Amino acid sequence: MMNKNLKINPPPKQAVILAGGKGTRLKSILGNLPKPMLNVIGEPILLHLIRLCKKYGFIDIHILVEFRADKIIEYFGNGHQFGVNIAFHRESTPRGTAGALCDILHTLSESFIVLYGDTFLNVDLNSMWIHHFKKKSELTVFLHPNDHPYDSDLVEVDDYNMVKRIHTYPHKSHKYHRNLVNAALYVIDKTSLLGINFTEERPDIARNMFPMLLQRNVKISGYISSEYIKDIGTIQRIKSAETDIFSGKTDKLLKKRKKEAIFLDRDGVINVESGYITSSKDLFLIEGVSDAIRRINRSGMLAILITNQPVVARGECSHNCIRKIHNKLESSLGIEGAYLDFIYYCPHHPDKGFSGEIKDLKFDCNCRKPKPGMIIQAALDYNIDLEKSWMIGDTTSDVLAAKNAKVKSILVKTGRAGSDLKYTVKPDYVFDSLNESVDYILNN
């Protein structure tokens, strides 16, 4: 666990923006302009990035340019009119993101943050910068779930959020991975890149450089956040980003802003209730739940899974088994354009006497519903306003957990539909399905 009282002395802030893209898929709206000059709500995307850097104190900015570099240099100049200092680095031939970055290492500080010129983001860059040095990482990657994991590079991390491997797309259909996407925002220590020799003509940071760094045992940490970051490489994604800006979603998700969340039970609410699930092959989504969760995602509220999994304490399913089940859950939702922001599960069970049980997990914990531990922890981790949040479940245990955490409760008529009768408690609302529940929350 990270020591929050640890004193650190990070180096001066410096940013590198990769802005060499042509924008081939956007030629109909770009004309002959380079991709970083793409108009987003009336201004070039690159200007948004420069303003974001300035907001968080990154005023020393290095911009790598290639295609129609003259247009970018002419517009931004030395950056003084925008309150920053810009140094341009012009490629004579395309070198790929990794090649271009390594070519200018000798001009950079000991540590720097890397942004992509075709990504719109509203991220607290300073928090990520501080996180990098607290973790004593050599490279930090911004990670988040998204609504298209099937065509994204997915990152596997350990229990301490250190990167173990990168699963580049296309992904094998029978393999399930956590929906944890490399969002193309990095903090890098220069020393971690020294001496790298690429065999590729145009090496990519994620596809070529990261695997090499992992082989060299470079410490790569994952910075997992719900903050807004979106690749705007297609016309549809530009429109989506502009809608999110105007709706206020991009601001709602900022790290320091109080967020609203919808906490979701798993079995009987998201997937078909079929007793204790101990294998991913037994998990199937309830019809319509992807649409409901997708609408939560688009609203700017967080969708957070809160589930009791006593099968771990009972020795019927390991933590690795639970991860595989949840990987399938996330993959199934991702295929339909939906995602869970975070997953919390309680592996404990208070009752003893099961064959093969894990004794260390057999105790009366604070996280097992109806206790509110998982909800409270999520609120602390992600700055959630519980008074404006909800819990949707299919049992009286879910309803009581909601009341104990002081969030509003909804009982759905799927799964057990409250038939467990374990606790004498009434939900605030009752609806037939997750879809109806989400309709009510978002429309009222």
Q: Which residues, other chains included, contact 429 with Cβ-Cβ below 8 Å and sequence gap of 6+?
A: 408, 409, 410, 411, 437, 440
Q: Residue 359 CB: number of other CB atoms within 10 A?
A: 9
Q: Which CATH superfamily is domain 15-239 in?
A: Spore Coat Polysaccharide Biosynthesis Protein SpsA; Chain A (3.90.550.10)
Task: Indicate the CATH number for domain 258-443.
Answer: 3.40.50.1000
Amino acid identity for residue 198 in this structure:
F
Crossing angle, helix 45-55 and helix 125-134, to 10 degrees? 60
Residues acting as catalytic residues: 265, 267
Cα separation, 343 vs 24, whole angstroms:
37
Question: Vertex 377, ends 312 and 135: CA angle to 5°?
Answer: 95
The answer to whether 277 touches 268, Cβ cutoff 8 Å, is: no
Cα separation, 125 vs 55, whole angstroms:
9
Longest dimension (CA), the chain: 74
> What is the full per-residue pLDDT of the chain (444 aa) written as tens digits?
445 455 567 889 999 999 998 767 777 777 778 889 999 999 999 999 999 999 999 999 999 999 899 999 999 999 999 999 999 999 888 899 999 999 999 999 999 999 999 999 999 999 999 999 999 999 999 999 999 999 899 999 999 999 999 998 888 877 899 999 999 999 999 999 999 989 898 999 999 999 999 999 999 999 999 999 998 888 888 999 999 999 999 999 999 999 999 999 999 999 999 889 999 999 999 999 999 999 999 999 999 999 999 999 999 999 999 999 999 999 999 999 999 999 999 999 998 888 889 999 999 999 999 999 999 999 999 999 999 999 999 999 999 999 999 999 999 999 999 999 999 999 999 999 999 999 999 998
Q: What confidence score (pLDDT) does residue 7 get?
A: 56
- SS3 category, 316: coil
Q: What confidence score (pLDDT) does residue 1 get?
A: 43
Crossing angle, helix 319-335 and helix 289-299, to 10 degrees? 80
DSSP conformation letters of 36-89: GG-EETTEEHHHHHHHHHHHTT--EEEEEE-TTHHHHHHHHTTSGGGTSEEEEE
What are 440's two structure tokens? 């009510």
> φ and ψ at 355, to 5 degrees?
-65, 130
CA 310 to chain CA centroid, nearest Å: 27
The answer to whether 179 touches 339, Cβ cutoff 8 Å, is: yes
Cα separation, 382 vs 380, whole angstroms:
6
pTM to 2 decimals?
A: 0.93
> φ and ψ at 51, to 5 degrees?
-65, -35
Radius of gyration of the chain (CA): 23
Q: In the chain, what are the domain boundaries?
A: 15-239, 258-443
According to DSSP, the β-strands at 60-65 and 390-393 are unpaired
